Amino acid sequence: MAEAKIILVTGASSGIGAAIAKRLAGEGHTVFGTSRNTGSAAPADGVRMLTMDVRRDDSVAQAVAQLLAAAGRIDVLVNNAGFGLAGAIEDTAPDDMRRQLETNLLGPLRVCQAVLPAMREQGRGRIIQISSLGARVGIPFQGAYCASKFALEGMSEALSIEVKPFGIDVVMIEPGDTNSNFPNAREWTEAAKSSAIYAARARHAVAVMAKAEHAGPPADKVARLVSRAIAAKRPKLRYVCATPIERAAITARRLLPGRVFEGVVGAVYALPKAK
């Protein structure tokens, strides 16, 4: 086995984050997981839970300080904490978008900034961002979520170049449909809850996605890919965790004219015409 690492996994109380923490601890790494409420978390064996709200500077700083005090260093950060917000763009108020970005974009930014001084001083480190295939394709009625993941990847590409001279690698993991608690925790914008214009189409599209997610591969498939990215001497910038159909969609996105691909996406979600 590769050298044991000191690893921080955000959002480790359930779903993909819990699967990642469990697998890495089982491989012999020292794993610290985070949750906004550690009292309600059920961590895997060998995972030490820290309280962290990625939306708050002080909470992030305190949790990272606790890890460094206990372990003396940090080798790997897995930025996993996040959630999905559903609703038509017309039904997405600026405050809704801010709430989505606060967790999915500014959260990873805060945690990166908190661990980077220690990684730079060590002269090594690895930051793994749990992104999404929603960073490749705009998914109808999940525009805020896709915006957060598009932005996360742009930020991560820039970060990768900036920190490379310090021996720090940045990796993005792009899961497709995954059987986890993510669809159950999906939230709706306030206006979407009572929208007479988009309600039927939005509910239908999200139901189609939720069905695919529940039928998708287990969260441990993403965890195995994270483990592979940690063990790699020269990790790739992106790792895709997707079904053959999803991989075909990525290729189609690149090859088809934009409007043609747009029609394909609409057909996948069997979107009825607006009345």
Report, as residue numbers or ranges, the catalytic residues: 13, 131, 145, 149
- Amino acid type, 43: P
216: three-class secondary structure by DSSP: coil
Helix %, strand %, coil % for the chain, to 5? 50, 15, 30
The label of the residue with tokens 């089982």 reads: 26
Alpha carbons 255 and 275: distance in angstroms, whole number: 32
In degrees and rounded to multiples of 5, residue 32 shows phi and psi of -110, 125
Alpha carbons 11 and 33: distance in angstroms, whole number: 7
What is the C-alpha end-to-end distance of the chain, expressed in Å? 59
Cα 60 to Cα 6, 10, 106, 263, distances in angstroms: 17, 10, 11, 42
Tokens of residue 171, six digits: 């990796």
Q: With contact defined as beta carbons under 8 Å apart, do 227 and 16 qualify? A: no
Instruction: Please report, to the nearest 10 degrees, the dihedral formed by the alpha carbons of residues 58, 63, 67, 73 taken in order.
Output: -40
Cα 154 to Cα 9, 106, 168, 234, 251, distances in angstroms: 21, 13, 17, 21, 20
9: three-class secondary structure by DSSP: strand
Tokens of residue 112, six digits: 């990166």
